[in-house]
Amino acid sequence: MDLRGLGLLYNAAVRFIDESVEKGLGDKIAICYRDERIHYNELQEKVNQTGNMLRELGYKLEDRLLMVCHDTPEFIYSFFGAIKIGAVPIPVNTMMKPSDYEYFLNNSRAKGLIIHEDIWEKIEVYKERFCFLKDIIIIPDSESEQSGTHLNFLQLMNRASKKLDAAMTNKDDQAFWLFSSGSTGNPKGVIHLQHDMEYAFSTYAKKILHISEEDRCLSASKLFFAYGLGGGMYFPLGAGASTVLVKERATPEAMFQAIETYKPTIFFGVPTLYGAMIDYVSRTGKQFDLSSLRVCVSAGEALPKAFYRKWKEMYNVDILDGIGSTEALHIFLSNRIGDVKAGSSGKVVPGYEAKIVDEMGRELPPNEMGDLLIRGDSIAHGYWNLHEQNKKKFVGEWLHTGDKYYKDEEGYFWYCGRSDDMLKVGGIWVSPVEVENCLLQHENVLEAAVVSVQNENNLVIPKAYVVLKDRTPSKEMEDELKNFVKQQLAHYKYPRIIEFIDELPKTATGKIQRFKLRELLKSNSAQ
Ligand code: 3UK
């Protein structure tokens, strides 16, 4: 009996790797990495070899493996090799501290660790603390290198068979986890199922990006982020298209260079990067050829209108702002090609539903701000071992995003900040994002973050931290910025205090960490 043909079996590695070969795309480029071009035939073989290597080491259905991998082809081999045998890969951020890996390993109880050599060297001192860990599989810089007493990924993989039958998983089996950083508390293990990537692919990637075999994707967001995992891996692979992997940090220079060299058609970035790229060009006067791009994507935080306009003016290509989350796997509200309302997160992606509710859970009419809830089949199964948080976050079919939004009459969604970052000033909601966007429109402002502080009457007032572009802070500049906001927005929204700083605290994804600024405020006022 053909269980797969009957739809009883489903394995994401079969869908995203084997299917392209079966469709006759074996000779097409799947991955561009430095000078290497990896075709679908070879990709399938490497995934099979990695799966066989893991099987030979004893990995079975549901066994977890932590992946601490840079954006190199081995990331993709490990991720899909594990999934193909039914094991559960957990890619995590490569820029963390040793104690964070201790947390990831012990919290997930992963038996195996696949890790690039340079990162292992930094965390090796902690190895006695990894309570459940059995195998350490090191990805060395070259195959011939010794990996000490540990397993050498390249040697083991190359020795393994190139043929592999997928495990008997079905669409609701666990496929992989991601850790969600969150603004407070420990990271949460987000459990995604075999069918989740296909859902995000067939909705956002197909219906919004219209991705096809002809495309070539470049993601500035690393593969271990949910955003990069789609843009840099399963979107292009699912379409039989190609991906460009860049191991190095996504600086403006590196990104311009990668676009000129590999000529991608779709680029995935975050607002801070677009801002830095625009700034880089205006500072250096250098010109770059971005004509290969047919569309750019921005996510992670709201894209300031000014960045959208400037980019369009410079390169004549749209940046589609869309909101996604690790829990939802990818983007569920988005602007569309040829249909962009700059400053908004666009409309609901087909396949998802969204509603905005008040504190009582009642749906709100247009133009009223409330909590954004979404529904759609790529939403995670839940958090690992967090019973109370699961009850609050995953309510029936609805995911509570934790974001404040309103929807205009035309169905475009406007981001107003995180539920926990919102300020109530004089009894009225003030969105820190709105004030920041206003400040960013001022010609001397590079970055801005707004948080609440209490005045002498314990009332909330907005305070702005501002990074200036090549300007020395002054009282005049402070007054000018206050007046600038007063002119643009309702009077009560202007920042009563402005502090100039050299840089803003940000997460690895480039999100401004307002909670860090709030902590700074608390510790300063305690002194
Ligand atoms: C915020 C946005 C305004 C919002 C992500 C694309 O960022 C991603 O996932 P995370 O789990 O964070 C989710 C939260 O980030 N956010 C994301 N995009 C936007 N706010 N406008 C946006 N365009 O607070 C959301 O709840 O790190 C992005 C695809 C997959 C992702 N996981």
Ligand 1 atom closest to the CA of 509, numbered from 1? 27
Question: 284: which residues sit within 8 A by CB, 6+ positions away?
Answer: none
How far apart are alpha carbons 382 and 14 in whole angstroms?
A: 24
242-251 pLDDT tens trace = 999 999 999 9
What are residue 417's phi and psi, to 5 degrees?
115, 170
484 or 516: which carries more pLDDT confidence?
Answer: 484
* The pLDDT of residue 96: 81
* The pLDDT of residue 510: 76
DSSP secondary structure, 173-193, as one string? SEEEEEEE--SSSS-EEEEEE
Q: Same CATH topology for 196-418 and 423-526?
A: no
Closest residue to atom 10 of ligand 1, CA basis: 325
Checking if the pLDDT of 428 tops 70, the result is: no
- CATH number listed for the domain at residues 196-418: 3.40.50.12780
What's the rounded mean pLDDT across residues 41-58?
A: 98
DSSP one-letter code for 493: G
- SS3 letters across 109-141: CCCEEEEEHHHHHHHHHHHHHCCCCCEEEEECC
Looking at the domain covering 12-192, what would its CATH class be? alpha beta
Helix axis angle for 271-284 and 252-262, nearest 10°, is 90
* The pLDDT of residue 183: 42
* The pLDDT of residue 184: 46
Q: Which residue reads 């309702």 in tokens?
A: 490
355-376 pLDDT tens trace = 999 989 999 999 999 999 999 9
How far apart are alpha carbons 94 and 82 in whole angstroms?
A: 19
Closest residue to atom 15 of ligand 1, CA basis: 300
Checking if the pLDDT of 182 tops 70, the result is: no
How are beta strands 295-298 and 266-269 bridged, if at all? Answer: parallel
What are residue 26's phi and psi, to 5 degrees?
-50, -35
Q: Which residue reads 């073989």 in tokens?
A: 45
What are residue 295's phi and psi, to 5 degrees?
-160, 145
Q: What distance in angstroms lies between residue 227's CA and the mean position of ligand 1's atoms?
A: 8
What are the helix (H) ranges across 224-375?
A: 226-229, 235-239, 252-262, 271-284, 305-315
Q: What distance in angstroms lies between residue 322's CA and the mean position of ligand 1's atoms?
A: 8
* The pLDDT of residue 272: 81
Q: Which homologous superfamily does the CATH classification assign to the domain defined by 423-526? A: ANL, C-terminal domain (3.30.300.30)
73-108 pLDDT tens trace = 999 999 999 999 999 999 998 988 788 899 999 999
Give the percent of the chain with pLDDT over 70: 94
Q: What distance in angstroms lies between residue 24's CA and the mean position of ligand 1's atoms?
A: 36
Checking if the pLDDT of 66 tops 80, the result is: yes
* The pLDDT of residue 418: 75
Ligand 1 atom closest to the CA of 322, numbered from 1? 23
Best mutation site among 323, 349, 509, 514 for ligand 1 pocket (most ligand atoms within 8 Å of CB)? 323
Give the dihedral of Cα atoms 468, 470, 476, 480; nearest 10 deg: -50
ipTM given for this complex? 0.99
Q: What distance in angstroms lies between residue 300's CA and the mean position of ligand 1's atoms?
A: 4
Closest residue to atom 25 of ligand 1, CA basis: 325
124-177 pLDDT tens trace = 999 999 999 999 999 998 766 665 689 999 999 999 999 999 999 999 999 999
Closest residue to atom 14 of ligand 1, CA basis: 325
Among 52-61, 162-171, 385-394, 454-463, the range scoring the smallest mean pLDDT is: 454-463
Domain locations in the chain?
12-192, 196-418, 423-526
What's the rounded mean pLDDT across residues 189-215?
A: 98
How far apart are alpha carbons 146 and 155 in whole angstroms?
A: 10
Q: Are 320 and 340 in contact (CB under 8 A)?
A: yes
Q: What distance in angstroms lies between residue 231's CA and the mean position of ligand 1's atoms?
A: 14
Ligand 1 atom closest to the CA of 302, numbered from 1? 21
Q: pLDDT-derived band of residue 457, with 50, 70 and 90 as boundaries?
A: low
Rg (CA), the chain: 24
Q: pLDDT-derived band of residue 526, with 50, 70 and 90 as boundaries?
A: low
258-312 pLDDT tens trace = 999 999 999 999 988 998 899 999 999 999 999 999 999 999 888 889 999 999 9
How far apart are alpha carbons 187 and 285 in whole angstroms?
A: 41
In the structure, which protein residues have their CB atom closer than 6 angstroms to any atom of ligand 1?
Answer: 180, 226-227, 299-302, 321-326, 330-331, 345, 401-403, 415, 418, 509
What are the helix (H) ranges across 139-251?
A: 153-159, 196-200, 226-229, 235-239
Checking if the pLDDT of 2 tops 50, the result is: yes
- Give the chain's mean pLDDT: 92
Q: Strand order of the sheet with strand 295-298?
A: 36-39, 29-33, 242-245, 216-219, 266-269, 295-298, 319-324, 331-334, 347-348
Give the CA distances from residue 324 to residues 185, 205, 206, 225, 403, in Å, rounded to whole numbers and listed in that order: 21, 13, 16, 11, 11
* The pLDDT of residue 296: 98
Among 136-150, 216-230, 391-405, 435-449, the range scoring the smallest mean pLDDT is: 136-150
